[in-house]
């Protein structure tokens, strides 16, 4: 499994519109081959900043399968005009996992 971490800043006063557009766009990413799960999180300290965490089966499911799909063009059309600057995207693999002790 590979984790995609996308960090993006949204243009001022566009949070609600961005979140509404994301609600529509998430159906695109969740339909992709190799997609496992995702979550969108908003910064507490900087409410215009978001982190999108996507779990993919393999790196290529994101970098090739999603990014070279027609769905990605629709994803961009729905979301990119909200971005204030270029998003930062990195991929991670799990090294250690933990759980809270009851």
pLDDT in tens, 30-87: 999 999 999 999 999 999 999 999 999 999 999 999 999 999 999 999 999 999 999 9
Domain that holds residue 11: 2-92
Evaluate whether residue 100 is within a structural domain: no
- How far are the Cα atoms of 5, 77, 99 from residue 88, in angstroms, in the given order? 8, 18, 28
Q: What is the CATH number of the domain that holds 21?
A: 3.30.70.100
Evaluate whether residue 51 is within a structural domain: yes
Question: Which pLDDT score is estimated for 12?
Answer: 93
Rounded to two decimals, the pTM is 0.91
Evaluate whether residue 75 is within a structural domain: yes
Give Cα 97 to chain centroid, integer Å: 21
Evaluate whether residue 10 is within a structural domain: yes
Evaluate whether residue 97 is within a structural domain: no
Evaluate whether residue 99 is within a structural domain: no
Evaluate whether residue 31 is within a structural domain: yes
Evaluate whether residue 102 is within a structural domain: no
Nearest to 83 by CA among 24, 1, 17: 17
Classified as helix, coil or strand, 58 is: coil
Q: Is the pLDDT of residue 100 over 90?
A: no
Q: Provide the domain count of the chain.
A: 1
List strands edge to edge, sheet with 2-9.
35-42, 49-56, 2-9, 88-92
Question: Which pLDDT score is estimated for 101?
Answer: 85
């Amino acid at each position: 499994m590979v984790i995609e971490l996308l960090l993006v800043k949204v243009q001022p006063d566009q949070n609600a519109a961005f979140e509404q557009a994301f609600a529509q766009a998430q159906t695109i990413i969740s339909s992709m081959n190799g997609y496992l799960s995702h979550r969108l999180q908003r910064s507490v300290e900087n409410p215009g900043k978001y982190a999108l965490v996507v779990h993919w089966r393999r790196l290529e499911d994101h970098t090739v399968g999603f990014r070279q799909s027609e769905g990605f063009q629709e994803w961009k059309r729905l979301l990119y005009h909200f971005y204030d600057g270029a998003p930062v995207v990195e991929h991670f693999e799990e090294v250690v996992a933990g759980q809270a002790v009851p």
